[in-house]
A = this chain, B = another copy of it.
Amino acid sequence: VLELRDVSKVYGESTLAVQALRGVSLTLQQGEFVAVMGPSGSGKSTLLQIAGGMEQPSAGAVSVAGHDLVGQTPAERAAARLSTVGFVFQSLNLVSSLTAAENVALPLELNGMASRPARAAAASALAEVGLEGCGDKFPDELSGGQQQRIAIARGLIGERSLILADEPTGALDSVTGEAILRLLRAKVDAGCAAILVTHEARHAAWADRTVFLRDGLIVDDTGGPQD
Contact = CB atoms under 8 A, between A and B. Distances in A.
B90 A38 contact: no
Given A90-B171, A170-B170, A41 B145 contact: yes
Contacts of A37: 173
Nearest to A140: B91
Number of chain copies forming the complex: 2
Which bucket holds chain A's interface residue count?
Answer: 20 to 34
Contacts of A44: 143
A176 interface: yes
A202 to B, nearest CB: 11
Contact of A145 (B11, B40, B175): B40
A170 B171 contact: yes
A89 to B, nearest CB: 9
A141 B38 CA distance: 19
Contacts of A12: 141
A175 B175 CA distance: 23
Interface in A147-168: 149, 166-167
B199 A40 contact: no
A92 to B, nearest CB: 9
A40 B90 contact: no
Nearest to A91: B144
A56 interface: no
A175 to B, nearest CB: 7
A103 interface: no
Contacts of A45: 143-144
11 contacts: A38-B173, A39-B173, A40-B143, A40-B171, A41-B143, A41-B145, A44-B143, A45-B144, A91-B144, A144-B166, A177-B199
Interface of A: 11-12, 37-41, 44-45, 90-91, 141-146, 149, 166-167, 170-177, 199
